[in-house]
Structure 1
Amino acid sequence: MNDAIEKGKTAAITSYILIVGCLIAMSMNSDEKNAFASFHIRQAAGLSIMFISLGLIVSNFGIPEATIALWIFMSVLWTYGIFTAATGKTTPIPLVGGLFQKLLKTIG
């Protein structure tokens, strides 16, 4: 298991660089599927989709405080995801990680 984590760590960390990093990580993980990398690719893809969706909603209100709150919230979740990937853990992102694993089970 530790060998699989080490092999998938680069793709896992790369996946958290917004949509572009997610696509790169998917490409990196396409030849030899790595369960650790796949887990983090799903988490990062879910975060990216959530960020874009919430950003579109919040931008319609024109309230700077809501925009700042969204950025802080997403930054904390992204930091948590990157930290768990870097430390070799498969802990879902709080609040939404389990949902991402279920909804995006075909990604990775």
Structure 2
Amino acid sequence: MNQSTIQEGKSLAIVAYITLIGVLIAFFMNQEKRNSFTSFHIRQALGLWLLYFIMGYIVSGFDSWMLTYSFWIFFSVLFVYGIAGAITGKLHNVPLLGPYFQKLFKSLG
């Protein structure tokens, strides 16, 4: 992947991490002109957001502030890692889960 591809796709890659709506915006805007850098980060962000909502539903059933804070810290670190990779133009998988997200959503770009 060359530097111009990364520069063209950087803004949509960052948008993908902002909200679940951001993932959808980035996905549909990336359909016109497929950018592999953007597609990589869309798959990562979509996986993070879906897992965030699923795990959030499960964690909300427990009445434990330690579990809740651990949940928030875990996902905050993963989202910051993903956004930092998008800003710096790197294709680093999100720790622990990134390769699974790439396999699971490989048809998205």
- State if a TM-score over 0.5 links the two structures: yes
Counterpart CA distance in 1 for 2:80 and 2:22 is 15
Counterparts of 1:26-41 in structure 2, within 5 Å, are 26-41=27-42
Offset of residue 18 of structure 1 = 2.1
| Corresponding residue of 1:66 | 67
**CA distance, structure 2, for counterparts of residue 23 and residue 64 of structure 1:** 32
Q: What's the CA shift string for 1:16-58, capped at 9, x where partnerless?
A: 0121110111122010000000000000000001100110111
For structure 2, the 5+ residue unaligned runs are none
Counterpart for residue 46 of structure 1? 47
Q: Please name the residue that 2:92 is paired with.
A: 91
Normalised to the residue count of structure 2, the TM-score between the two structures is: 0.96
Identical amino acids, percent of aligned pairs: 48
Q: Give the aligned residue type for 1:93.
A: V
* Equivalent-residue separation in structure 2 for 1:58 and 1:34 (angstroms): 35
Aligned residues: 108
For 1:69 and 1:20, the matched residues in 2 are separated by 25
| Partner Cα separation in structure 2 for residue 18 and residue 61 of structure 1 | 25
CA distance in 2, matches of 1:62, 1:29: 41
Within 1, Cα distance between the matches of 2:11 and 2:94? Answer: 18
TM normalised by structure 1 equals: 0.97
Computed over aligned residues only, the root mean square deviation of the Cα atoms, in angstroms, reads 0.8
Q: CA deviation at 1:105?
A: 0.8
